[in-house]
Structure 1
């Protein structure tokens, strides 16, 4: 699809592969060994903030354009219907299969909670084998539902004065909600708050701010010129994230300072990684050619299915081989789970995701205007 931004698809592919590698490493115990490499593997959960940031960027951009350029605003009901068709069909397939195979529930209520993406609101319930990655989807869906309301409030706030600046000021309030949620989760010992949208709102807010900037300034020459340095800085901050400063590798709860450091570093890494492509995309540049190569771009397009399938595949493989917890063979688990997950992802993408998107009337959103010297291509819908 020519209107898609291949580099952003490439970022999706890297994020999806990061989540897969994280779960291969954790299930085989490699992630808990000594050394810097296991620590860096343990922080591959940075993929989730990247996914959240991309959702904020791509979904809020039509609303930002409506404010700044006085174009028509998206219709909330139509937008929500598209989100449901984008997310739920493959989710229902994977979740139903896993619950059929390994359901820990004694009655139908557990099924209902999971099929309606309500599992995060019942933190005391058991998590079925193979669905441990699904905690992110209720947060995504919560943002989808909240976005039209946020967009309406921001639209009203930005009606007077410098509209882009006022939008950015309004969006700047959202990270404060995350700080409050992190503090509440640690001070009141309520770790389940981390399963709710307020704890992660900062990542979506950064994407929304990028959406405003992409419409307002188009192609940024400053970010373009600094792109290599920004990407190197993202890598350096990821190394800092991979230390005890950001908390333990295990399920042991971090302290308040560790939680705040982790959220701050994850936000910085996600922003530094995405900004050179969202605000200064140049198809001919080295960074765009590397991330936007045909293989990476295709993996990005099927990344949602890959994300859904990889955990059940790893779980099934470990059950079939009889591997003890945290003692599986990393190489064999990685090789087999990757190949099987890829096959399932290609099938579900083309047989379920693509027809569902056609049913929703989905079209790739046009890119924000950019100078003639460096046009900015449209980004894919999440």
Structure 2
């Protein structure tokens, strides 16, 4: 094992299992928060919590659990582009990059959309656009509530940042190309990321103003999660800098690598503080006011950084952290975590037996609250979403991802072969 690690390229992340485990924890956390609301555990507006202690713990997790998903995406996907800018390596091919991202996100999402539209919301279908709208990920703009896809607004948000990433990478490359020192390059690369983070904070303030009302249509747009994605991209820059200058790693990078448990204790402290719901009500799932929304925006960034950073550093180890995120169960659930996130809300509607397949209009979750106890509903959600995610992973997602990955590899090899002769001819022709 040590020999394999020593032989691996320095830029390869050795803690993939740990990162999978974080995905599992986040997906299960989101499922637990939503289930507790549906079961009446968490309070909402005029309805008090059904269990104050459990509601307080879950309400504190509610805004934080999504953060690591976006941070991981920004970090892992931008890293090859950061290496292109900082080291002068070949730029990642845009076509294969986008094809692999589409294959990873879209097929499972389309499967969920078809199931929800035709089994839960069939009576609401009023034409082809009702079916095409969620498939094209446009229901967040032409706002339409589709029961079972309630939390899936984040998937279009993620996809739009995938599409924007090559453009951001080109802008950051342009800003950095005027200097040769990697540290100065990195500073210039951070300018767009800081602007995105500030812009997302301003957007968060805008959509939570009292004048906007509760859950305005703009809430579902992708702008509010830009800070987490930008944070992941900034972490990718730090990782590549650590590869280039291993003897001059940033202080926080060194501490995260040497003391990963310390970072996780910090993340736990942030979670505990958020359980108090500053500017809000502990144990309630109300729509946030401006003070609570902005506080949670910055807490999410800090929580996500402290959670993800130590796991993404090659060679960083902690027995406690590894026991939580690197065990076989966590790693497996992490591999299917996207499906767990997608399916858990639809499973609730099926368990409540509401929707077209049951001969009724799908009821709003507020109308269903408390009609099924938390232990029963949570068990149904866990078992159902894990089974659905497993089927989706092995029958839909993995075959498509593998097929597109093979196609992308062929394209990249062909591009490399086409580039090599031109480089050689240029070398020969130069002295003439």
Identify whether the pair has TM-score above 0.5, normalized to the shorter chain. Answer: yes
1:252-311 Cα offsets, whole Å, 9 max, x none, are 443222211111111111111111112365357442343111111111011111111211
Q: Which of residues 295, 316, 335 is equivalent to 2:350?
A: 316
Provide the rounded CA distance (Å) in 1 between the counterparts of 2:54 and 2:18: 26
Q: Does 1:122 align with 2:142?
A: yes
Q: 1:94 to 1:80 in 2, by over 3 A?
A: same
Q: Does 1:352 align with 2:396?
A: yes
Q: Does 1:304 align with 2:322?
A: no
Q: Does 1:330 align with 2:374?
A: yes
User: Which secondary structure state, in structure 2, belongs to the residue aligned with residue 361 of structure 1?
Assistant: helix
Partner of 1:141: 159
1:57-113 Cα offsets, whole Å, 9 max, x none, are 111111011111211111222211111111111111111011101223322222111
Q: 1:324 to 1:185 in 2, by over 3 A?
A: closer
CA contact (8 A) 2:15 2:312 kept: no
Q: Which of residues 251, 262, 282 is equivalent to 1:229?
A: 262
Partner of 1:25: 36
Partner of 1:70: 88
Q: Which of residues 129, 132, 137 is equivalent to 1:109?
A: 129
Partner of 1:273: 307
Q: Which of residues 399, 402, 405 is equivalent to 1:361?
A: 405
Q: Does 1:7 align with 2:29?
A: no
Q: 1:284 to 1:181 in 2, by over 3 A?
A: closer
Provide the rounded CA distance (Å) in 2 between the counterparts of 1:62 and 1:111: 36
1:302-335 Cα offsets, whole Å, 9 max, x none, are 1111111211112101127999433311111111
Deviation of 1:251 (Å): 6.3
1:183-204 Cα offsets, whole Å, 9 max, x none, are 3223462733332222111000
Q: Does 1:240 align with 2:273?
A: yes
Q: Which 10-residue stretch deviates more, 160-169 or 320-329?
A: 320-329
Which entry has the higher C-alpha Rg, 1 or 2? 2
Provide the rounded CA distance (Å) in 1 between the counterparts of 2:318 and 2:225: 34
Q: 1:221 to 1:333 in 2, by over 3 A?
A: same
Q: Does 1:42 align with 2:59?
A: yes
1:132-159 Cα offsets, whole Å, 9 max, x none, are 1111111101101111110100010011
CA contact (8 A) 2:60 2:276 kept: no
Provide the rounded CA distance (Å) in 1 between the counterparts of 2:266 and 2:89: 36
User: Which secondary structure state, in structure 2, belongs to the residue aligned with residue 121 of structure 1?
Assistant: coil
- Give RMSD over aligned pairs: 2.6
CA contact (8 A) 1:89 1:352 kept: yes
Provide the rounded CA distance (Å) in 1 between the counterparts of 2:203 and 2:254: 36
Q: Does 1:174 align with 2:196?
A: yes
Q: 1:290 to 1:172 in 2, by over 3 A?
A: same
Partner of 2:293: 259
Q: Does 1:189 align with 2:223?
A: no
Q: 1:113 to 1:275 in 2, by over 3 A?
A: same
Provide the rounded CA distance (Å) in 1 between the counterparts of 2:315 and 2:197: 26
Q: 1:364 to 1:345 in 2, by over 3 A?
A: farther
1:187-240 Cα offsets, whole Å, 9 max, x none, are 462733332222111000110111111111148432223422221121111122
Partner of 1:206: 231
Provide the rounded CA distance (Å) in 2 between the counterparts of 1:58 and 1:316: 35
Q: 1:254 to 1:305 in 2, by over 3 A?
A: closer
Provide the rounded CA distance (Å) in 2 between the counterparts of 1:87 and 1:333: 27
Q: 1:240 to 1:4 in 2, by over 3 A?
A: closer
Partner of 1:217: 242
